[in-house]
């Protein structure tokens, strides 16, 4: 339909309409006349429709109220009174995205679906949740999602429990996360940015039910809302639905939710704090040093939103980054990184050195400011500027966000101005800013930015984070003593009340919703589901004696070329060097080009060249697998010749003997792995446990797991003595891997891209070895180690599992429905709702691996016991046809996650290497669609056999694991 500015459509007045070429879309800004709600509509032909509603939610203190409220509104509402409508939607909708997010100043509730009927259903549940939640009448919601006193018996120790409480204990275990929180606190002492919207575990128990409901009443009103619609949906019907079903029930009111500006400082502030490290660790070299600058605001100079992002990459992220190089050369610390947070009203530019010492703080400051002044005086290398602008522009135009819906990215970007009462399209129209920034190639544009926002900016801070042994234990003891003291102050009647409230909460959690209540959640029918599996284009060609997989997909003139080298010829002792090699390539010099110039060449002529490792397990075979070193690259069709020149140069001419640079990269890699272990402990624990019984996982553990971290630690500590050996091994592994035999190349793009690729391919083929090498023998010793992996984390990640093929069972698509039920029914209730962990998941793979794993979990034994209880749960499993339909739809939704063109090419390649045919994928889908309750019950014996193996692993808090040491075979200090 045609819209006219000033006209009203179903209560929404059209304020502005325009084309945005960058998005190939029409945008419309509406205001709902009666309620005052704002609405942004982005119309295009994208069938992955997005809806979101957000609210300005400035926190007043550190009790986590905005975050706990975000969880709690999704725990039942007026029309949908189930205890967990959010989970019911994940189980039984075709959503391509469904979540809620709390930021420093806003809370948003986004969803996406390709199915129009499903989209409206999801929108209905979300709108009812935010405007009419059950949290007013059910205080148990705050107790469960936020915090409560837990006391099962009068004699027990009093404890705190709650989903957000444990989530934030995990978040506060990450030193990088703690640093970023302290940076905001240091720069914004007088505004809401100076407190933690997610909640500090120390202060979360201060939150009361009255404060909780008052916050919702004040901020969750249409007059304080920001509604978003995106894609090819029927906008008129959507506006009518939102207006008639929800917004017309409210009148416009004045809400004071404005985000206040922090007054600039007259001089740099200095702030210090400690973070916990393991008792066996050394405090020496465990300091973070950071310099942080408030860089203008997001609304008066929108150009800076993009320009400072490019500047941060230029100074600190690119391999040629001059500030990073200066800090690394000064040997102040072992890792250097930066960040530019432009998601808040006053963006923050940070320069961070990790693994340093507080004694280096003045040197750190001196190196930073001297380097910046020299760059202003002498000028920044124009090639570096061109490279950083080009790679940013490439990413903006490509707009490849992986599986993340584009509409959601545009919504979050629009909120960077809209939330502060400015044009929501301000940061979406990037062309005008980009053209101004490109003037930097002939002017001193970036030098002026450095001068204004960094050198002469007194609204800044130095934040120092020192590693402290015993701090976690000290905090834990203080909490224990506080609770003991509180319990001692209570009368017997008050203690009994806590025992009763604990019991009542558990009863509520364990009591299933009635059929009538569950049926309030809208559900699609199986007839709404596509019966055929998506066809992924793949044609096998031979080019110059090499197998090429061609994926003829529209990519808007961007070529995605992945070169997969066989890594199974590498000797078992050298396996970790495959990952080390992939990290080094492209980041050290070649015989022709130094590494800074090489980085510039890559960024000027391509969309990126990345080296990585991957392991492809063979279909339904836990013993056979294919390890690969993969060169992932992308470029415009016109740049394919230069792309192949650069790849050939890196593969054939890399200098591994740059000892100084090699040491720097190993130190940085070790630092990033430390971050990964603390931030993604569930993945680390799951990988570790599968290495006990799966040869493929044992290989992966040596290339990306804790074993690999231990390898890095060993070579980093003794680098000076081991350097020659490391260089020799890198050369050796490089010669083995870069071989024409067993090479597979994947090309995603249209016909003209393939033609250009085939023409340039000899440049790479000609420099590869052709020697026929035997496969190395990998006879890994597989043993049930049942380890406790000790860290300074405040929470645990508990994994248990085994391989069902080893036990004589075969894979079936019906297992994917079992996975949905196990994850979203059993583990959600037992591990998250009742256990207080932030998450609990099941993973079931074609290779036969079954793993149950928890995320940010306060427990150890209790979670292992919960896993053991799944057998009884499945044995007694009952579900109506409607419930089975729900589980099937949720499973199909997971299978049908949207794929970008590059992801389709990679997925098709993976299926080919693993030996998974289109027919087998179709069979799997049909098995999912035909799953019955009896099929699920039939898995009881399989699960029983898995659980009987008693194979588990726990990564987490050192004290908590040692308190349960009798259940473990080995205790391993991860970072020692």
Residues of the chain above pLDDT 70, percent? 100
pLDDT of residue 585: 98
pLDDT computed for residue 403 by the predictor: 78
CATH class of 269-404+413-468: alpha beta
Instruction: For residue 439, name the pLDDT band (cuts at 50, 70, 90).
Output: confident
Flag whether pLDDT at 879 surpasses 80: yes
> What are the Cα distances from residue 216, in Å, to 25, 62, 143, 260, 488?
34, 17, 16, 20, 34
CATH superfamily of 539-765: Metalloenzyme, LuxS/M16 peptidase-like (3.30.830.10)
Angle between helices 163-171 and 65-72 (to 10 degrees): 130
- Could you tell me the pLDDT band of residue 622, with boundaries at 50, 70 and 90? confident
Give dist(CA 626, CA 387) in Å, integer.
35
Say if CB 302 and CB 436 are below 8 A apart: no
Out of 43, 145, 196, 312, the active site residue is: 145
pLDDT greater than 90 at residue 360 = yes
Q: What is the mean pLDDT of residues 631-643?
A: 98
pLDDT of 621 over the 90 cut: no
Q: Report whether pLDDT(357) > 80.
A: yes
**pLDDT single digits (tens) 284-297:** 999 999 999 999 88
| More confident position, 307 or 621 | 307
3-class SS of residue 729: helix
For β-strands 8-9 and 148-150, DSSP reports them as unpaired
The token pair that represents 798 in the structure block: 């508990």
| Span 434-462, average pLDDT | 96
- The string of pLDDT tens digits covering residues 201-214 is 999 999 999 999 99
Q: Does pLDDT of 431 surpass 80?
A: yes
Q: Which long-range contacts (CB under 8 A, 24 or more apart) does 403-406 make?
A: 403/96, 403/897, 403/898, 403/899, 403/900, 403/903, 404/97, 405/48, 405/50, 405/96, 405/97, 405/112, 405/230, 405/898, 406/46, 406/48, 406/50, 406/230
- What is the distance between the alpha carbons of residues 282 and 524, in angstroms, rounded to a whole number? 57
CATH class of 787-973: alpha beta
Give mean pLDDT, residues 724-751: 98
Report residue 543: phi and psi, to 5°: -125, 115
Average pLDDT for the chain: 96
Which pLDDT band, with edges at 50, 70 and 90, does 279 fall under? confident
Position 143 pLDDT exceeds 90: yes
Q: Which of 819, 835, 799, 826 is nearest to 927 (CA)?
A: 819
Ranking 105-114, 397-406, 408-417, 533-542 by mean pLDDT, the lowest is: 397-406
Digit-coded pLDDT (tens) for 884-896: 999 999 999 999 9
Report the range of poorest mean pLDDT among 73-87, 135-149, 467-481.
Answer: 467-481
872 Cβ contact partners less than 8 Å away, ≥ 6 residues apart: none
* pLDDT band (50, 70, 90) for residue 900: very high
State mean pLDDT over 559-588.
Answer: 98
The reply to whether 398 belongs to the active site is no
**pLDDT on residue 402:** 80
Q: What is the mean pLDDT of residues 248-254?
A: 98
Find the catalytic residue in 43, 70, 150, 398.
70
Please give the average per-residue pLDDT across 780-785, as a whole number: 94
pLDDT higher than 80, residue 534: yes
With 90 as the cut, is the pLDDT of residue 400 above it?
no
Take residue 907 and report the two structure tokens written for it: 């997925």
User: 138: pLDDT confidence band, cut at 50, 70 and 90?
Assistant: very high
Backbone dihedral angles phi then psi of residue 832, each to the nearest 5 degrees? -90, -65
Mean pLDDT of 624-632: 97
Domain 32-174+191-258, CATH class in plain words: alpha beta
In this predicted structure, the answer to whether residue 301 has a pLDDT above a threshold of 90 is no
**All residues at 6 or more sequence positions from 117 whose CB lies less than 8 Å from its CB, including other chains:** 524, 528
Domain with CATH 3.30.830.10 in the chain: 32-174+191-258, 269-404+413-468, 539-765, 787-973
Give the position of tokens 């990088």: 176
First to last CA, the chain: 65
* Structure token pair of residue 333: 């610390």
The tokens for 715 are: 């070579």
Contacts of 869 (CB under 8 A, 6+ apart): 826, 830
Could you confirm whether 145 is annotated as catalytic?
yes
pLDDT at 300: 81
Rounded Cα–Cα distance for residues 559 and 548 (Å): 14
Q: Where are the alpha helices (DSSP H) in 575-718?
A: 575-584, 595-605, 640-653, 659-679, 681-690, 695-704, 706-717
- pLDDT, tens digit (0-9, with 9 covering 90-100), for 826-876: 999 999 999 999 999 999 999 999 999 999 999 999 999 999 999 999 999
Look at residue 549 and give its three-state secondary structure.
Answer: strand
Q: The whole model's pTM is what?
A: 0.95
The pLDDT of residue 26 is 98
Q: State pLDDT tens for residues 36-91.
A: 999 999 999 999 999 999 999 999 999 999 999 999 999 999 999 999 999 999 99
- Look at residue 298 and tell me whether its pLDDT is greater than 80: no
Q: How far apart are CA 753 and CA 625, in angstroms?
A: 31
* pLDDT tier, 660 (very low <50, low <70, confident <90, very high otherwise): very high
Residue 821: per-residue pLDDT: 98
Beta-carbon neighbour count of residue 357 at 10 Å?
Answer: 17
């Amino acid at each position: 339909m045609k819209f006219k500015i000033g006209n009203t459509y179903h209560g929404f007045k059209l304020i502005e309409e325009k084309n945005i070429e960058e998005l190939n879309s029409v945008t419309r800004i509406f205001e709902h006349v009666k309620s005052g709600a704002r609405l942004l509509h982005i119309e295009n032909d994208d069938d992955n429709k997005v809806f979101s509603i957000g609210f300005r939610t400035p926190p007043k203190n550190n009790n986590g109220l905005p975050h706990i409220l975000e969880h709690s509104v999704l725990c039942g509402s007026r029309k949908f009174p189930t205890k967990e409508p959010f989970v019911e939607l994940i189980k039984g909708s075709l959503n391509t995205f469904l979540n809620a997010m709390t930021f420093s100043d806003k809370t948003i509730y986004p969803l996406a679906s390709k199915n129009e009927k499903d989209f409206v259903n999801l929108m209905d549940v979300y709108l009812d949740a935010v405007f009419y939640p059950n949290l007013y009448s059910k205080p148990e919601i705050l107790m469960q999602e936020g915090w409560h006193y837990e006391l099962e018996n009068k004699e027990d120790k009093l404890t705190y429990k709650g989903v957000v409480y444990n989530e934030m204990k995990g978040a506060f275990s990450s030193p990088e996360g703690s640093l970023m929180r302290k940076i905001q606190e240091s720069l914004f002492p007088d505004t809401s940015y100076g407190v933690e919207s997610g909640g500090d575990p120390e202060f979360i128990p201060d939150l009361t039910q009255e404060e909780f409901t008052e916050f919702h009443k004040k901020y969750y009103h249409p007059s304080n809302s920001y509604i978003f619609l995106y894609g090819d949906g029927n906008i008129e019907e959507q506006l009518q639905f939102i207006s008639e079903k929800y917004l017309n029930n409210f009148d416009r009111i004045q809400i004071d939710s404005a985000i206040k500006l922090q007054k600039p400082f007259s001089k740099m502030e200095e702030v210090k704090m400690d973070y916990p490290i393991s008792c066996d660790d050394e405090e020496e070299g465990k300091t973070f040093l950071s310099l942080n600058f408030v860089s203008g605001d997001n609304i008066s100079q929108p150009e800076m939103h993009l320009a400072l992002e490019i500047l941060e990459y230029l100074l600190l992220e690119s391999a040629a980054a001059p500030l990073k190089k200066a800090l690394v050369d000064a040997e102040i610390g072992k890792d250097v990184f930066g960040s530019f947070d432009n998601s808040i009203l006053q963006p923050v530019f940070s320069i961070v050195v990790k693994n340093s010492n507080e004694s280096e703080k003045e040197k750190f400051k001196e190196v930073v400011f001297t380097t910046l002044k020299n760059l202003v005086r002498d000028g920044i290398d124009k090639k570096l500027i061109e490279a950083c602008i080009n790679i940013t522009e490439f990413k903006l135009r490509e707009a490849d966000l992986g599986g993340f819906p584009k509409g959601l990215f545009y919504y979050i970007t629009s909120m960077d101005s809209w939330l502060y009462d400015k044009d929501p399209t301000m940061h979406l129209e990037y062309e005008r800013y980009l053209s101004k920034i490109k003037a930097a190639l002939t002017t001193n544009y970036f030098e002026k930015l450095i001068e204004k926002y960094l050198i002469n900016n007194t609204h800044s801070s130095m934040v120092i984070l020192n590693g402290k042994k015993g701090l976690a234990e000290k905090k834990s003891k203080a909490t224990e003593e506080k609770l003991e003291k509180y319990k001692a102050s209570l009368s017997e009647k008050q203690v009994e009340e806590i025992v009763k409230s604990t019991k009542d909460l558990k009863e509520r959690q364990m009591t299933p919703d009635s059929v009538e209540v569950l049926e309030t959640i809208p559900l699609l029918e199986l007839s709404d589901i596509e019966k055929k599996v998506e066809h992924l284009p793949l044609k096998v060609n031979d080019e110059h004696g090499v197998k090429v997989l061609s994926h003829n997909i529209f990519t808007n003139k961007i070529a995605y070329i992945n070169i997969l080298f066989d890594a199974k010829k590498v000797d078992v002792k050298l396996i970790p060097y495959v990952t080390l090699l992939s990290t080094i390539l492209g980041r050290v010099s070649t015989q022709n080009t130094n590494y800074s110039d090489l980085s510039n060449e890559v960024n000027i002529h391509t969309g990126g060249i990345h080296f990585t490792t991957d392991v492809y397990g063979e279909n339904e075979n836990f013993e056979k697998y294919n390890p690969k070193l993969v060169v992932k690259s992308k470029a415009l069709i016109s740049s394919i010749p230069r792309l192949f020149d650069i790849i050939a140069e890196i593969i054939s001419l890399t200098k591994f003997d740059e000892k100084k640079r090699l040491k720097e990269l190993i130190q940085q890699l070790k630092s990033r792995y430390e971050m990964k272990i603390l931030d993604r402990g569930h993945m680390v624990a799951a990988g570790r446990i599968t290495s006990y019984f799966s040869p493929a996982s044992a290989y992966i553990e040596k290339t990306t797991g804790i074993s690999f971290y231990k390898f890095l630690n060993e070579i980093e500590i003794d680098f000076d003595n081991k350097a020659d050996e490391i260089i020799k091994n890198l050369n050796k592994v490089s010669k083995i891997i870069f071989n024409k035999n067993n090479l597979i190349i994947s090309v995603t793009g249209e016909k003209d891209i393939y033609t250009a690729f085939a023409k340039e391919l000899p440049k790479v083929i000609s420099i590869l070895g052709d020697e026929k090498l035997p496969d190395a023998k990998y006879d890994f010793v597989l043993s049930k180690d049942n380890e406790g992996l000790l860290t300074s984390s405040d929470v645990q990640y508990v994994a248990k599992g085994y391989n069902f093929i080893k036990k004589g069972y075969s894979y079936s698509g019906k297992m994917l429905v079992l996975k949905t039920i196990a994850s979203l029914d059993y583990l959600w209730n037992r591990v998250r709702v009742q256990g207080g962990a932030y998450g609990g998941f099941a993973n079931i793979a074609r290779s036969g691996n079954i793993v149950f794993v928890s995320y940010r979990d306060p427990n150890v034994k209790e979670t292992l016991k919960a896993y053991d209880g799944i057998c009884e749960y499945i044995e007694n499993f009952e579900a109506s046809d409607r419930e089975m339909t729900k589980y099937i739809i949720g499973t199909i939704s997971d299978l049908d996650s949207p794929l970008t063109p590059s992801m389709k090419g990679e997925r098709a390649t993976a299926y080919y290497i693993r030996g998974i045919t289109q027919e087998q994928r179709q069979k799997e889908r049909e098995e999912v669609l035909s799953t019955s309750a009896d099929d699920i019950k039939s898995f009881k014996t399989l699960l029983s056999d898995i659980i009987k193996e008693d194979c588990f692993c726990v990564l987490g808090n050192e004290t908590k694991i040692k308190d349960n040491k009798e259940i473990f075979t080995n205790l391993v200090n991860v970072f020692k």
